[in-house]
Amino acid sequence: MDTMWAPWRMEYILRDRSNTSECIFCEKYQQTDDQSNLVLYRGKLSYVLMNLYPYNNGHLLIAPYRHISDYTDLNDRERSEIAHLTSLSLSVLKKTVNPHGFNLGMNLGIIGGAGIADHLHQHIVPRWTGDSNFMPIIGHTKVIVQSLEETWACLRDQFTKLSLEKL
């Protein structure tokens, strides 16, 4: 069994949530500064953003605008758009960060592993051969070779190009 270590995520787990009354996914899509909110693409019913605490470079999230936690509460149009944005995101990542594979999925409910259980979201994690190495285990450090800002700029450009091609 492979283990994906992510000790750098402790910052997320231990952060102060006392003055956070709003859902982060509801908050992000309502903001207009896409770059500072790491929003890459806005659909009609859902959107794509980068994970602030990525497992790997290019770790994306897709969330519906509607605040729901249960996959079965998605309507057909939302489900269809999330599927479309998943395909678009995979294409963008293939063209920009050239991964060898992906982890794709949702953690539903706290017991299912969801860090934010109240708002449904899907993870797309690019993977490379050997991306789990000694650094996280021995050095307690995850090496991500590109800043979030640089990754955002590369991915945003490609989202714009690919989404226009598919219209």
Please name every residue paired with 48 in a beta bridge, in sequence order, or none if there are none.
41, 62
pLDDT tens across 104-124, in order? 999 888 888 888 889 999 999
E-only strand ranges, 20-147? 39-42, 46-50, 60-64, 101-105, 122-127
Classified by CATH at the fold level, domain 24-165 comes out as: HIT family, subunit A (3.30.428)
Q: Which residue has the higher pLDDT, 113 or 42?
A: 42
Q: Whole-structure pTM over 0.85, yes or no?
A: no
Catalytic status, residue 121: yes
First-last CA distance in the chain: 42
Q: 32 in helix, strand or coil?
A: coil
The DSSP output letter for 96 is H
Q: Which of 59, 84, 121, 140 is catalytic?
A: 121
